[in-house]
Amino acid sequence: MVLSNLGLLDGEYKIISEDGMLFLPTITEVSLNQIQLYITDVSLTTGKRYFEDTVKGPRTLTEALEGKLTSSELALLPRAYDLVGDIAVLEIPEEIAQYSILIGETFHDIHRNFKTVLAKSGAVSGTTRTREYRLLSGENRTKTIHTEYGCRLAVDIEKAYFSPRLLEEHNRIAQLVETGETVVDMFCGVGPFAIHIARQKQAYVIAIDINPLAIELLRESLSLNKLVGSILPVVANAHNYVKNNKLEVDRVIMNHPSGAYEFVPDACSILKSGGTLHYYDFIGGDTPESTLTEKIRELIEQTGRSVKQVSTIRRVRDSAPYEYQMVADIIIGQ
Ligand SMILES: C[S@@+](CC[C@H](N)C(=O)[O-])C[C@H]1O[C@@H](n2cnc3c(N)ncnc32)[C@H](O)[C@@H]1O
């Protein structure tokens, strides 16, 4: 149950009960720290072993579509997919788009645990950073409840931005927050940072987004989780909200990599001396770490504040060929 809620249990393999022990197959390597938080009454260990398939028949799209597509078309089939709650999202290359429905239905036959199979249609764009999806198989919907690190998130992937690939980053930031902090998440989307923080820490999070549908989903998530901290969901342009409210905060999260640079003066105007800024950006080139360090240092110093320490610079994920979504954690001085 716990592994399943954490989105870690692999339903395609059978659970084994052997010599008084239960062996649970997981979709990825799991560290004990990850699960010991949630399971305290049994002794746990991790390792590798063989599990029998629950699935009969072909296990991959390539196996299932052999003979229906040419070998060059088979080579273009998606090898991975995004898992958002009970929805699977495929990215089908243009060259084999005419087979989209066949690919989606075949995928669904292999992975019966999903209720819906969608294909990405176009790129993430616009102020709300959303994209369209095409139904390939199953129920016609884009809304679901997604679980990451035990946080239950109401998500509608067509109406508000959400990426299941940022779970480590959401959790990393929540672990840095200390009891009693006030945090502003300037571009919260459906609120994954806010929910991770308020589940783990007695902190106060002001979660702002310009997209009212994103904030509606965040409000729904508030009732899905047991929170120790509190969250104020706000529909607003972050610039106006910061300008119109007297704030002095410990931490600002700026996960809007295509536009955050324009809001650095707003973030710097509300951070306490010694407060932390988490700044996200898309950076390419051979030395993205030093490019980002120089860029954010300049942006902060232009506001009249100083950089006390650049505590972390890290690649969060690949965003395009030779480009990364990067984060800089910066402690701000006077
Ligand atoms: C990359 S998404 C947010 C991701 C979110 N932090 C997460 O981890 O899922 C960027 C968000 O910024 C919001 N946004 C864009 N311009 C904004 C503005 N001026 N003020 C507040 N929110 C804004 C968009 O609606 C979108 O939800």
Q: Does a structural domain hold residue 185?
A: yes
Q: Does a structural domain hold residue 223?
A: yes
Atom of ligand 1 nearest to the CA of 214: 27
Same domain, 222 and 315: yes
Which amino acid is located at 301 in the chain? E
The reported pTM is: 0.85
Same domain, 234 and 316: yes
pLDDT of residue 25: 84
Q: Does a structural domain hold residue 156?
A: no
Same domain, 48 and 169: no
> For a pocket test of ligand 1, which of 187, 216, 221, 253 has the largest count of ligand atoms closer than 8 A to its C-beta?
187
For ligand 1, atom 18, the nearest C-alpha belongs to 237
Q: Does a structural domain hold residue 74?
A: yes
Over residues 95-141, the pLDDT tens digits come to 999 999 999 999 999 999 999 999 999 899 999 999 999 999 999 99
Same domain, 46 and 188: no
Q: Does a structural domain hold residue 153?
A: no
Same domain, 129 and 27: no
pLDDT of residue 23: 76
| Number of folded domains that form the chain | 3
The C-alpha atoms of residue 199 and residue 147 are separated, in whole angstroms, by 13
CB within 8 A of 320, min separation 6: which ones?
A: 282, 284
CATH number at residue 78: 3.30.300.110
Atom of ligand 1 nearest to the CA of 186: 21
pLDDT of residue 1: 59
Of the candidates 246, 191, 196, the one whose C-alpha atom is nearest the C-alpha of residue 216 is 191
Q: Does a structural domain hold residue 151?
A: no
Q: Does a structural domain hold residue 228?
A: yes
Question: Which element (helix H / strand E) includes 132?
Answer: strand 130-138
Beta-strand relationship, 87-90 and 82-84: antiparallel
Q: How buried is residue 141: exposed, middle or buried, by Cβ count under 10 Å (0-12/13-18/19+)?
A: middle
Same domain, 65 and 50: no
Q: 177 alpha carbon to ligand 1 midpoint, in Å?
A: 20
Question: Which residue stretches of the chain have pLDDT < 50?
Answer: none
Residue 138 Rama label (left phi>0; alpha psi -120 to 50; beta): left
Task: Tell me how many helices (H) and strands (E) the chain has.
Answer: 11, 15
The C-alpha atoms of residue 136 and residue 269 are separated, in whole angstroms, by 47
pLDDT of residue 43: 73
Q: Does a structural domain hold residue 158?
A: no
Domain's final residue, options 108, 141, 174: 141
CB 292 within 8 A of CB 224: no
| Ramachandran angles phi, psi of 280, nearest 5° | -115, 145
For ligand 1, atom 15, the nearest C-alpha belongs to 127
**CA distances (Å), origin 251, targets 180, 182, 198, 242:** 11, 7, 14, 13
pLDDT of residue 59: 83
Residue 37 belongs to domain spanning: 1-54
Of the candidates 254, 234, 256, the one whose C-alpha atom is nearest the C-alpha of residue 126 is 256
